[in-house]
Each structure stands twice: as structure tokens, then as C-alpha cells.
Amino acid sequence: MQGTTPYKTSPHKKSKLEDAHMKSSASFNKTLLSTLVATCIATGAYAQSDSVEEVIVTGVRGAQEKAIDVKRNSAQIVDSVAAEDIGKLPDTTIADSLQRITGIQIQRSGGQGSVVSVRGMGQVLSTMNGEYFLTPASMTTNGVNFTDVPASLVSGLNVSKSQAAGQLEGGIGGSIDVLTRRSLTLDEGLSGSVRLQGSSGSITETTDPELSGLVGWNFDDKAAMSLAFSYGESTLAENQGRLRADRVAEGWGCSSSCADLDGNGNTNGDFINPMSWNSPEFSAREIERERLGLAYNFNLAVSDSLELNADIFYTSMDEKAAGQFIYLGNQIGGRAGFHEYTLVTGKPAIVNPGDGSLGGQPFYATNMNMMVSGFRAGVLGDYRESSALNSNVDLKYDNGDAFTGSVRWVSGNADNDNNNLTLAQVSNAMMVKRSPTTDPVNINPGAIDDGLIYPMHVQVNSGSVLAELDPAMISKMANPEAWYLHSGWIESTYSEAEFDVLRFDGNFKMADEGLTSIDFGYRFSDRSTTFNNMSFFSPSGVVKDGVELLNKYHEVGYATGQAGSTGTAAGLTYDPLPVVEITDAKLNGYIGNVSNFGDALKGFNVNIPMIDTRKIDDPIAFNDMIYGKGQRIVNPDRSYAITDSKQSFHVQANFDKALNDTFTLSGNTGVRYVRTDLAITQNITDPKKLNPLILAGTDPNHTTYMDLGDKITNVTYNDFLPSLNLNLGIAEDFKVKLAFDKRMTLQDLDRLGQGSITYLSSEETVVDPVTGESVKEPFQRVSSRQNNGNPYLKPWSANVFNIAGEWYPTESAIVSLGYFNIDVKSFTYTKVEKNPTLADSDGVVRRGGEEQTVSNGSGGTVKGWEFSYQQSFDFLPGMLANTGMTFNYTYSPTKSPSSELLPNGDVAPFNNTAEDQANLVLWYQDDKFEARVAANYLGDQYQGKTSGWMWNPTNKDKGMPRYLKETLFVDVTTSYNVTEDLQITLAVNNLTEEDNITYTQWEDFVDSYNIFERRITAGVNYKF
């Protein structure tokens, strides 16, 4: 049965070593301890005889033995994860199981594993049973995200770190093959299993159900079918803090007079700090997921030489990630708040600043005091609906002769619809002219309008931010009349893809030794993907040429501020956009008091009336209710369609030769030829031609470009991908594996298909040469043009070298040490340069602007060492014989091209990876009880660089490095067999409530908090 491991045993016969163990078991002394490592590696199958029986081992022991067996018998360098039983991977999610493998790192969503990288490379190929399949979360990327796929539908995972010519091309770091069950491997007759689980989080505290199982029927090993199913609901905590850097100086940014902010006796200070207009931002969201998965398999032995296999794999997920947020910074007060605090209190606004010279400024600050006059808060909600259907039919031929072969057809389609809702409320006053004939009025009459008189203390700590606010301000913030909806908007994406694959594979057996066989094959695939980026627009109340214009942000006062631009708001003297106060009758039933903005924010004891996101299940309907019936409009510069057609041929020679009584040489070598034809359809836009039906200035973020037609670019790539895998067997227990292969993978489709967007600055004030008065220019200066897509980008490519030594002292033990070197020949980066030919909003070229273009780079390197040790301690005395462990460690430093420098002069790491990674798994399994403790450690992970005007002057304008702090995640799983068929389970994920904390340059200058919860899952399994 797949997911279990057969091994051979004999009637027990004591060896001398076993006898010695029994004699010393009563006194487990230093002698045993000192020889433990040598013993556990060397002890093995001493008691073997010709009389054998097959025993099926399940659970963690069986899964480990199966994974070792896969690794040992593979010609490539492979690591494996096997199911402990039907539909039971070792961990909660696919990604969580994969992180136990050397070189694999994962990102987390709501605390659960999602995006996977191999050896620091996010360019990873995912296949299902050896062929391409679609997942909604990654249909436009060249990476892997298993969020949509239930782990209970999977029987195993194979990670290939070296490639063979017969394998599908795609991953730079490696490839992950998801294995599903074949029905003919089931017991004859009717069989199956069902699992019911309930889980709860330490923050969310809800009870989430999940039902999964498999029902199969095997008729005399000739025809079989099975259906695996999974349905689950989950509520996960997503508490976040986001800090964005800003500057405050002692010589500017003052409202009246400036102050000595740090109290050092001079006014030369300039401080990098996190109190930006939209920072620090804290949010408490809950991720609600409803997920369904079905996997159907039909197996038929058509004849002695033909086997038919058919699969249908379906997944769907509805996800709502929604909650409240608050900004502690905001434009209400801004930098002047620091000066006011010192002027009023005589105390430092900046406490114990650090050395900020690497950031281009004298100091940076993490402990601050300021005066505030109000806040910005609101609602964040991501609403996603996705589904995927993947089908497979293959016919295999094997009549016992030299030739074997197969023909296979694979097809799939997927879609992903996402709406992102933001509603921002503020407590400040604002004067706006509401009609052509009336004077400006305060649109928020209950505003907190007292000026900068309320002190606030903010301190950035290692695991959270402490914010202490004046009680008088806390009281005012609790008043519903103090707030109105300053803005509200919806950003949307819709993507869909479909593909077909037809392939023919053959093998011709040559001999039992030497050149044993030749593999060959042809594959044709066609994939089409459409991606639409959209914004939602509602009626504005402004009529132009008899047509009511639309608007995006519902930001009262914005349009009149753009009256001097050349957009549709030009000349506008009033703003009739609807003002929605928190007390508005439209919001009856939606308002609640919020005091919790997540565990990343401490000490902020407020109680704010806000919209309750639990009441919003349809963001578009809610938006229509408060702003009027609207519509989604496509942003043509960020939308595209791509057709990807591939043809590939491969030939691979397999060999196996006994060199002498001790050494054998086996493996394969071959080449894969791939022709890729891309048809990339982009929309033609002009930065001077904005949508005339939308009320806006010249900022493209407030409107859309006009779609002026299509631009179709046809590109062809031809790649020859050689590979060599050598296995030197030494006696029966040792292997040395050496591999070299060339790899390629397409770019993320966004990188190929997106267009350009031009950003303009606000009108500049100049002196009129005639009158001598200060006036605003009648045009806007170009700031930058961002070319977010480039259809001529070459694929990612790399040459990869591996060498590994593997020792298999027993069937349940392995010790391995490997070295790898990934020489990245082609990757992607954003090239930034000055373009003097860029025109201003009136079409006149003056001083140009910054040009950002997605481009190909070369010269990145990822290399490192991987060590792994796995052992079942079945030779130890007593209960210790039921234990085992896995330990592995990966050291993988990376290096960008030499031109990519950090502020301290070091060459930047190549990608988002940790140099140090380790896993430790300890387990116990007897006839009734099983327990497993798994710990995953990652050192500091480089996250790229951040740039901005506050880092001025930066280190050659390279920006500042960001790092994710080291993490240690611990999971515990246990089970008890009540009967042979009935099992109860208990699992604890993230036992120590580990979080993800990111910092910029200095470890105490934290810029991101992701707070994860502990989750406990209890379940019952029944097999029949």
C-alpha cells in the first residue's frame, strides 16, 4: 500500500551486540553513552536469515524508511516526504512538511506554510506525478504556493535537487513532485479511511472543522478506483505591524520654531525614524478559509501489457482576510509633533538615538515622544475565490520485451478572483466647498480639532511596539462623531489559465549491465493565461458634458486639489463627493467598538468606533451601498494575456556497471531540447491619455489609462539542457553521487506582460517673470516611468553542480553530506537610470526623470553544504527501541554580482535566503502510541534592499538591507491507536508561538512584525 514501507525481518536471533545491549540495559552507563553515535550508525541487520515475512510499517517510522528508500534508489539527488498513512502527511500543510528537507525554506500565511523555495531560489517547478499542474495561487509565477492544495490529498512529495533529461524543465533551485494515490495499490475489495479534525488558535479561539478521507475499490488487482476528499474551514490570526522609515531634523519640519530634539545641546540632528505619514501601521486580521479538495483515480489493467490510469484533481478555496488597522503616524501632526513635544515639555523627543551613518544620516530613532492631534484608522480586507481542475490520462505499455512506453494527456484550468478593500477613517477637520455657490464647510463637524497638544510615546521593541497615549485623546477617540470615512477603495485582480499537454515516452532496454537502457520522448504543451488588474469606481456627483464622472478613492477634497492640473478635475471649484460619517444611517448595524489592533501593538488602550469587517462578506456590494452603484475598470498598463507553447525532445542513456567486487558505477546522462514560443499581448497606453470618464488629476493611481489597442510580441527561445548523474556505489552501504545539469525557467508572467506607468509630481511653484509673483506651473513635472514588464526578457537559467556522499548502514538509517553550486547565468532585476527624454504632463521635454526597467542580470551565485542524519533506534534496549530522529543542517551563503553592495561595503546576498538552516525531529512509536517533535531553525534571512529619500545620501544609491530575524518553529504531533482501525490524534503547531520579525540594517530598527498563533488540532481517524 502506498504510504507504507515493506521490510524484511526474520524470527529473532540474538547477535553478540544485541546480547551486550541486553546485559547493560539495566545500567545505561557512560560506556554506552560514549559509543552511542557509533552504535546507532553501525548497528543494523545482523539478524537476517532466509526465512522472511513481509511486515507493513506505518506511522512516522514507516514514512521515514520509505523516504530513505526513495533517496537511496534514485539516480538523481532526491529528498522525499512520505505519508505516514492514507492521507496523512507528517505536517499540517504541504509546505510545512517540505521545510523538514535540507535546503527548503518556506514563507507563512496566517502562520501556515505557503510559498516554498529550494536552496534559496524561489524559481521552483511543481509537478503532479511527474507532469505540470495548475494551482491558483501561483498560476502567473515561476514559483510554488501550495495554499490551495489540501495535504490530505497527497501521498508523498519528492524534491529533485539534480535533474535528468527525462524530467520536466522548470526549477532553478529544484523541482517538487506531488504524488497522489494509485488505486491498484489499494487492498482488494472495498477499503478506505475517514478523518475528522477540529482545530483552534491561541489568538482566534474558534473551533475549525475538517473532514477528509479516501474510499477505494480494487477488483482482483485488475480494475480499481478511488476518491479522496477534503473539506475544511479555518480561521487563522494575522496580526501585523508595518513600519516605514521617515526623517525628522532639528532644523526643519517645524510648525512654529524648531527644537533640540535629542537634548544634546546642538540643533544639527537628523533622525531616521518610523513615524511616517502611514506608519507605524498595525492590523489585526483573521484569515477565514473554506477549502474543498477532490482527487479521483481510475486504474485499469487493460491486458497483461497495457495499463490505463486516469486522474481528476479538483480544488477550490474561498478566503477572507479582514480586520482593522490604525496608523500611529499620519499627516495629522507629522514631523512638527516632535518639535512641539520638546518645546512644550522641555524633554527630549528622541531618546537615546543610534548611529545612523550607514543610512546616510547622523542618527536613527526607536524611542520617541511627540504631540499628536488625531489618527487614521480603518478596515483592510482581502476576498479571494479560486479553483483549479487538473486532469490526466495515461496509457502504459509493457509486454516484457525490450521496448516499453507510454502516451499521456494532461489538461487543466484555474481561476483566481481577488478583491482588496480598504476603508480609511480619520478624526481631523477638513474644509471643503460643497457646491459652486456655497462657502467651504467642515465636512467632519465632530472632529478632534485641538491642535498638537496630546503627548504620545512610541518605543520600537524586539517583539512589539509600545505606544502610550494621553488619556484625554483616548477619550475623544471613543466618540463616534469624531470620525468620518476619509477614503475607501477596492483594487481587484482576476486571472485565469488553461493548459494541455500531450507526451510520448519510451524506454528501450539494452542489457543488464553497462549501457542498460535508453529513454526518449517528445512533449508538446500549450498554456494560455489572462491577467486583469482592475480598480473599482463609483459615481462622483460631478457632471461633465452631460455624463457623471466616476471616482476611485471617494476622497472628499482631492478633486478640487487637482483643479490646476490638466486632468478631468481641471478648473473644478467644488467637491460634491458623498461624505460618510461613522454615525451615518447607512452604516447602522456595521459599527462596533475596536480596542484590539493585534499583538504587535502594546499599551495602546483605545476604544474606537469602526466598521466591523465580520459584517462584510461582499466588498463590492458594501461599496455600492455606501457610495452608489459602481463598476470594475481594467487597468490596461497592468493587464496582459500570454500564450506559452513548448515542444521538447529528450534522450537519456542509463547505465549500471560493476567495476569490481566493491565498486559499481550507475546513473544517467542525456540532453533535453526545449523550444518555447511566447505570444505576449500587452495593452498600448499613453501617459497623456487618461480615462475621460474618471474624475482625477494626472496621477494614474486615481484613474486609468485609455486602452489604445493591443501590442503582440512573439518571442522564441531554444534551449539545450544537458545533464549527468553519476552514482558510485561502494560495497552495499555507501554511495557517492555527482551531478551536473543546465536549467531554465520562464519569467514570472507579470515580468513579461505588464506595461509602463508614468508618475508625475505636484505642480511646482515658480516666479512669474512678468509679475514677479509666485505661481504654480500649469503642468506637472515627470517624476519617473516604471516599465514593470519586458516581453524580451530572457528566461532564468543556471548551471548546477552537486556532489553528495550517502551512507546507508541500515534500512532505517542514512548519513549524507552534500555540496551544491548554483551558478545563475540569467536572472531578473530592476535597472534604474536617468532618462532625459521623458516628457512632462504637457508633452514638453524639460529635465526628464527616472526610468525603471525590468532587465536581465547575470553573475549570481548560490552554493552551500547540506548534512543529513536519520536513524530508527530499533537496536536500543526497551522503550528506546521505539525511538528515532532526523537531524539536518544547511549552510548556503549567496552572492550577488559584485556591483550590488551593501552600505558597509559587503557584496549583497543574491536572494531571500538564510545562510543557516537546521531541522531536528525526534519521534517515538510503539504498537499503540506515537509522538513526534519537530523543530525548524532558520538564521537571519536577507530580504533585499529598501530605498527612499530618507536614506540620503545612500551608499551609491543602493538602499538599505532588510533581514528577517532568525526563527525557531516547533511542532508536536501525537496519536493513539484505540483499535487496529481507530486512531485519535493531537497536534500542536507553533508550540512556542514564534513570530516573524524583520529589521532594516540595525537589528533594533524593526520594520515588520508578523505575529503567529499556536494552533491545537484534535482528531479521530477510522480505517476500513
Give the mean model confidence (pLDDT) for residues 242-251.
89
Q: Is the dihedral of CA 1003, 1004, 1010, 1015 positive or negative?
A: positive
Q: What is the DSSP letter of 910?
A: S
839 neighbors 845 (Cβ within 8 angstroms): yes
Say how far apart CA 259 and CA 255 lie, in whole Å.
11
- Going from the C-alpha of 339 to that of each of 247, 342, 348, 452, the distances in angstroms are 13, 5, 9, 10
> In this structure, what is the dihedral angle of CA atoms 204, 205, 211, 212, given to the nearest 10 degrees?
60
Q: What is the DSSP string of 538-568?
A: EEEEEEETTEEEEESS--TTHHHHTTTSSST
- Please give the pLDDT value at position 40: 38
Say how far apart CA 669 and CA 723 lie, in whole Å.
6
Tell me the HSE value of 144 on the side-chain side, using a 13 A CA sphere: 33
Q: Is the dihedral of CA 228, 229, 235, 239 positive or negative?
A: positive
- Please give the pLDDT value at position 952: 58
Closest CA to 80 of 105, 51, 100: 100
- Does residue 163 have a pLDDT over 80? yes
- Please give the pLDDT value at position 332: 58
- Please give the pLDDT value at position 86: 65
- Does residue 138 have a pLDDT over 90? no
Tell me the HSE value of 959 on the side-chain side, using a 13 A CA sphere: 13
pLDDT digits (tens, 9 = 90+) for 962-984: 999 999 999 999 999 999 999 99
Residues in contact with 1022: Cβ distance below 8 Å, sequence separation at least 6, in sequence order: 193, 194, 195, 981, 982, 983
Q: Which residues pair with 739 in a beta bridge?
A: 725, 802
pLDDT digits (tens, 9 = 90+) for 552-592: 999 998 888 887 777 888 888 899 998 999 999 999 999 99
pLDDT digits (tens, 9 = 90+) for 444-489: 999 998 888 999 999 999 999 999 999 999 999 999 999 999 999 9
- Does residue 26 have a pLDDT over 70? no
Domain ranges in the chain?
230-495+531-1023
- Please give the pLDDT value at position 957: 52
pLDDT digits (tens, 9 = 90+) for 305-329: 999 999 999 999 999 999 999 998 7
| Average pLDDT over the chain, rounded to an integer | 89
Higher pLDDT, 880 or 336: 880
Residues in contact with 638: Cβ distance below 8 Å, sequence separation at least 6, in sequence order: 533, 754, 755, 757, 788
Of the pLDDT bands very low, low, confident and very high (cuts 50, 70, 90), residue 330 is low
Residues in contact with 484: Cβ distance below 8 Å, sequence separation at least 6, in sequence order: 425, 426, 443, 444, 579, 580, 581, 582
Of the pLDDT bands very low, low, confident and very high (cuts 50, 70, 90), residue 674 is very high
Strands 1006-1011 and 131-132: unpaired
- Phi, psi dihedrals of residue 905, rounded to the nearest 5°: 95, -10
- Please give the pLDDT value at position 837: 93
- The phi-psi region of residue 948 (left if phi > 0; otherwise alpha if psi is between -120 and 50; otherwise beta) is left
**Element housing 336 (H / E):** helix 336-345
**Element housing 32 (H / E):** helix 30-34
Of the pLDDT bands very low, low, confident and very high (cuts 50, 70, 90), residue 304 is very high
pLDDT digits (tens, 9 = 90+) for 417-435: 999 999 999 999 999 999 8
Scanning the structure block, which residue is given the C-alpha cell 480544488? Answer: 315
Integer-rounded Cα radius of gyration of the chain: 32
Say how far apart CA 445 and CA 475 lie, in whole Å.
17
Residues in contact with 739: Cβ distance below 8 Å, sequence separation at least 6, in sequence order: 76, 77, 162, 163, 723, 724, 725, 726, 800, 801, 802, 803
- Please give the pLDDT value at position 2: 36
- Please give the pLDDT value at position 366: 96
Q: What is the DSSP letter of 429?
A: -
Question: What is the end-to-end Cα distance of the chain in Å, rounded?
Answer: 14
- Please give the pLDDT value at position 769: 77
